Structure 1
């Protein structure tokens, strides 16, 4: 494979002083550093440093980067599960103070409740809503969510009766049923086999085309990022920083073989691969010193 960087549409890493030139973004990340403090030893492990990123409403943003670069830390902060050490994260201009009904998380593992049926697993998301929808509205939403992920007919099944891919569909349906504005997805297809993963990607592309939700999506797969995302953010390592943002200027739907086999798809894929390889090489040199 050639290591020449092709011509790509990129944006430079934004600074904390950058102001949006159009309508305000849905998610604003400004000067965020994050990690873990050991107060007893007065030390910090920094996972992310000075991250600045905007996510537009209705956008599908994919994050790629080496293991340990802070991708999951970033998505957990947007979800409100943890707070940055420095900087701010805002949704609709308001600081994120904790989890909210406007955001729903889909994890890599299935995270389903084994003692509940498929229907009641999805219902769980509505049971924790305030105010809780009426029984009729809840039933309609659950039925629609299961239909979207292809689980109609499995409402009474238990997780142990389902394949791994089907259990992950339950998790996605549970995220969709509360109709959140933002879907936060941390390697949601990473635990399934390659064929199931590709099938779920194709279905998910159709779902988001229908719902129009904003998606913040973490993946280790370059092909997955290019197939699904409007933009791809490459995160560097040690500590994590936004290295580059690429516009994916490919037509949708992208599960058309003509798109995925196109010269442009290959150029973008090679460029991201080269950037990640440069990160891996830099990390190895740092270890050897």
Structure 2
């Protein structure tokens, strides 16, 4: 297999030649460090250090790295749930100082309300919007979101009546119904079985192609990152830093067997794995100390 150098891009939309000037990033991460205080031991754990990253409107960016490298911390800062110790995060030019209607989160676990049926679980996202949309508009948007995730006909079902994959689709529908510009997804398919995971990946690729939303996606799966993302950001062992950014120059749909079996897919996968293998071993070594 040819070991061509992967396409590495820290400024993926830079101006070259006669091309139009690049647009401003939708998400700007500038010199961000983050950590947690341990009041019992009077120590501070640094999860991320000096992270710089731009995400452009309509991009699908996947973040991969070893456990404990700060991936979830980073996505929580973009969501506005926590604040960085140093540096700034801007969305559409504005400093992130809390959650906003322009961002919606899909969590790894099934973040559904067990006492609400599917329809009312999705409706929950609109109940927390100010101003709330009129009832007719809300009904239309909920129906559309359920159609996108393949849950039409399950509106009256309760979470205990659904499979794990279907419960996660409820969470995705709840994120879609508010029509955010940015979808923040923290291992959204990690809790489902392999077959369901691949099916949901394929559905999600179609959804994003239709909605055109910007996606910031955390995963431990290199194959998942290459299948879904426009760019893959590799994060080092804790404290996490941006180690490398790879442009995924593969045609879509990447569920085509010719694409998945192509030399280029294999080259990219091997390169990412070779970079992250050392980081994962470093993380394990650090845990043993």
Q: How many residues align?
A: 281
Q: Residues 72 and 28 of structure 1: is their aligned pair in 2 closer, same or farther, counting only changes over 3 Å?
A: same
Distance 1:177 1:252 in 2: 26
Distance 2:207 2:231 in 1: 18
8 A Cα contact 1:13 1:245, kept in partner: no
8 A Cα contact 1:5 1:274, kept in partner: no
Residue 15 of structure 2 is matched in structure 1 by: none
Q: 1:177-192 residue pairs with structure 2 within 5 A? A: 177-192=177-192
Residue 7 of structure 2 is matched in structure 1 by: 9
After superposition, the CA RMSD in angstroms is 1.9
Cα distance, 1:22 vs structure 2: 2.2
Cα distance, 1:59 vs structure 2: 0.2
Cα distance, 1:283 vs structure 2: 3.8
Distance 2:193 2:239 in 1: 31
Secondary structure of the structure 2 residue equivalent to 1:11: coil
Distance 1:257 1:40 in 2: 53
8 A Cα contact 1:33 1:51, kept in partner: yes
Residue 281 of structure 2 is matched in structure 1 by: 281
Deviates more, 1:29-38 or 1:73-82: 29-38
Cα distance, 1:5 vs structure 2: 5.9
Q: 1:12-23 residue pairs with structure 2 within 5 A? A: 22-23=22-23
TM-score by length of 2: 0.93
Residue 95 of structure 1 is matched in structure 2 by: 95
Secondary structure of the structure 2 residue equivalent to 1:205: helix
Q: 1:237-256 residue pairs with structure 2 within 5 A? A: 237-256=237-256
Cα distance, 1:287 vs structure 2: 6.2
Cα distance, 1:85 vs structure 2: 0.3
1:39-59 deviation per Cα after TM superposition (whole angstroms, max 9, x unaligned): 575531100000000000000
Deviates more, 1:35-44 or 1:51-60: 35-44
Structure 2 residues not aligned, in runs of 5+: 13-20
1:222-271 deviation per Cα after TM superposition (whole angstroms, max 9, x unaligned): 00000000000000012100000000000011111111111100100000
Residue 110 of structure 2 is matched in structure 1 by: 110
Distance 1:285 1:205 in 2: 36
TM-score by length of 1: 0.93
Cα distance, 1:145 vs structure 2: 0.2
8 A Cα contact 1:13 1:242, kept in partner: no
Structure 1 residues not aligned, in runs of 5+: 15-20
8 A Cα contact 2:32 2:85, kept in partner: yes
1:188-208 deviation per Cα after TM superposition (whole angstroms, max 9, x unaligned): 000000000000000000000
Q: Residues 280 and 215 of structure 1: is their aligned pair in 2 closer, same or farther, counting only changes over 3 Å?
A: same
